[in-house]
Amino acid sequence: MLVVAMAVALVVVAAGVSLGLWAASGGDGGPTAPEARSSRGGAAAAPTPTEQETSPGPSRSYPLSTAPRTIPAVRDHTPARGPGWKPEDGDRVVVNDPALADEGRLIAGELGLTYAGEKDDERDGDLRLSLEDRKNANPESYVMTVRDGRVEISGPAEAGVFYGTRTLKQETHDGGTAPEGVVRDEPAKERRGFMLDIARKNFTAGWIEDRVRELGDLKFNELGLHFSDDQGFRIESDTQPQIVSQPHLTKAQVRKIIDLAESRHITVVPEIDSPGHLGAVLRAHPDLQLRTAQGSAVQGAIDISKPESAEIVDGLLNEYAELFPGKPWHLGADEYQALVRSDPEASFPQLAAAAQEKYGSGATVADLTTGWLNDRAATVRKHQRVPRAWNDGFFRGGSVQADQDIQVAYWTGKEIGARPPLEYLQAGRKVLNYNDEFLYYVLGEPQTFVYPTGQRIYEQWTPRVLRGTAAVPERYDGQIPGGSFAVWCDLANSQTQDQVAAGIRMPLRATVQKLWDPDRPELSWAEFRALADRLG
């Protein structure tokens, strides 16, 4: 009798261990418990008692999933046991809100699924996109749950849900599987940009559209277009057609770019630089060219003592405010050549006289230039735009200070009277990172510029590295909304547009990784580069 009792006890213990393994496998969402669903249709068959008494194998238990490999990397993944999810013929994309129709149709087309619109029922293989009210949540955040052969991506706003679909697209690329479990993800920085100089080099509309698609898949949310400079003015104008260069983008082409960008939750940020870099405009208005006391013309500089100068530039700002709907607006304000002279007041007596008339007897040419910036900011502010300007358009001292709401686009510390980024931060300003030592891709590598590498950005740069290689103190992190990688076309013919696309490919990926999560990446550079190659 004792032998029989011990045998029964062993069977019970063995069964209990197996049931415990089922609980561990299925309790976090994996479809391995007897009552759980299989990855496609029906319920998983319950194992026989004989199977329960043997060690669990792959047919009955899945290992814990590993975090997805994406660019940028997801910030949190809770693993689970299960087969994961991959798109199959007949699977649906469904939404809980008509506002997600665009996101739903896009990912359905990309993954070869059927867009079914708003549905309440659940089917195996479903990808469900949901808007959920999450108080005080980052609107770009999302939660992606892979469980029981289905995927749900939810977020407080459309942008977050869209970013979740980008993660899923990368996970399932080239036959991949989205791992079982829950991704919780959001960007560290709200502005993740790419700026393109189309003034000095013409880029085709198709090439720009390709970059928009690339940026969207990488979770960038800004595309800057610098379309006015000394060498060219590259967007059609109705009010000043004589300033437009050949070739150029038509407004219809720009609207198509903007529409495509909006579908990817990317804001297109226009820049008409002034009072410098206006050579293309001045060729049509030579009477507004800035001249020295000796009558010599100053390259690209408009005479800001003349009321007509403000009328011309404000007219352009007003015209293009109707074309570009986004909130941010770049006013330029850099490298006004009147201020590189040792004595601007003596070199440009008309500017000195205008400054004193407007701001008092002690006013300087720098004061007049700051007043110009403030006036242009007021023009775009009437269109509910948020102005930004290059850091060398802000001057130390003086009787006139730049308006506090003008954000600083910090690119260099090499200008005359350079101010370190800390000065702007201590003054309470918001500072965007365009650090020219990491983020400037200048065609032809003029002066001291060299083409930036993705590896250097990935390993050495963070959004707090605003100038040089040193980071500002962490307490200022909240004043740095983000940053932008920039392509400048100083020597326009040095590369074709296809060479530019290839040259910026890895720098763009490294930049967005550090804007999404500035902490030290988990992957080595070699691993990150291999991942980028696999994802295409």
247 preceded by cis ω (within 30°)?
yes
pLDDT value at 291 more than 70: yes
pLDDT tens profile 271-280: 999 999 999 9
Q: 233 forms bridges with which residues in the sheet? A: 228
- Reading phi first (left if > 0) and then psi (alpha if -120 to 50, else beta), residue 337 is in alpha
pLDDT in tens, 74-108: 999 999 999 999 999 999 999 999 999 999 999 99
Contact 481, 408 (CB under 8 A): no
Place of tokens 């226009």: 270
Residue 249 main-chain phi, psi, to 5 deg: -85, 135
> pLDDT band at 15, cuts 50/70/90?
very low
pLDDT at 48 over 90: no
Q: Are 402 and 388 in contact (CB under 8 A)?
A: no
pLDDT of residue 17: 35
Joined tokens for residue 125: 């293989």
3-state SS assignment for residue 10: helix
Q: Of the given ranges (23-37, 114-128, 133-147), which has the lowest mean pLDDT?
A: 23-37
415 or 168, which is more confident: 168
Strand partners, 386: 328
User: Beta strand 92-95 with 127-131: parallel, antiparallel or unpaired?
Assistant: parallel
* Percent residues over pLDDT 70 in the chain: 89
What's the rounded Cα separation, in Å, for the pair 227 and 221?
A: 19
Closest CA to 376 of 395, 357, 389, 358: 389
Q: Among 305, 307, 340, 318, which Cα is nearest to 415's?
A: 340
Alpha carbon 284 to its chain centroid, in Å, reads: 36
Residues 6 or more apart whose CB falls under 8 angstroms from that of 95 comprise 101, 103, 104, 117, 118, 128, 129, 130
Contact 478, 181 (CB under 8 A): no
Q: What is the mean pLDDT of residues 457-483?
A: 98
Q: Is 114 helix (H, G, I), strand (E, B) or coil?
A: strand
Instruction: For residue 409, give the nearest of 395, 426, 389 by alpha carbon.
Output: 389
pTM of the model: 0.89
CA–CA separation, 383 vs 322, rounded Å? 9
Residues 510, 512, 515: CA angle, nearest 5 degrees: 115
Token pair in block for residue 110 = 């990309």
CA distance 15 to 476: 58
DSSP helix/strand/coil, 502: helix
Contact 396, 419 (CB under 8 A): yes
Q: Taking residues 504-517, what's their average pLDDT?
A: 98
Asked whether residue 258 carries a pLDDT value surpassing 70, the answer given is yes
Amino acid at 288: L
Rg, Å, the chain Cα set: 29
Residue 483 C-alpha from the chain's centroid: 8
What is the pLDDT averaged over residues 188-208? 98
Pick from 376, 291, 288, 297: nearest CA to 333 = 376
3-state SS of 397-443? CCCCCCCCCCEEEECCCCCCCCCCHHHHHHCCCCEEECCCCCCEEEC
Better-scored residue on pLDDT, 169 or 35: 169
State which H helix or E strand residue 163 sits in. Answer: helix 158-171
Distance CA 402, CA 431 (A): 14
Residue 414, pLDDT score: 86
Q: Is the pLDDT of residue 213 over 70?
A: yes
As a whole number, mean pLDDT of residues 332-341 equals: 96
In angstroms, the CA 357 to CA 384 distance is 30
Between 510 and 418, where is the model more confident?
Answer: 510
Sign of CA pseudo-dihedral 199, 204, 210, 213? positive
Q: Which amino acid is at 122?
A: E
In 254-362, beta strands by DSSP E: 267-274, 289-291, 297-302, 328-332
The answer to whether 221 and 194 are in contact (CB under 8 A) is no
| Contacting residues for 16 by C-beta, under 8 A, at least 6 apart | none
Is 416 a residue whose pLDDT tops 90? no
In a 3-state reduction of DSSP, which class is residue 313?
helix
Top-confidence residue, 42 or 460: 460
pLDDT at 47 (0 to 100): 38
Whole-number pLDDT of residue 58: 45
Question: At residue 393, does pLDDT exceed 60?
Answer: yes
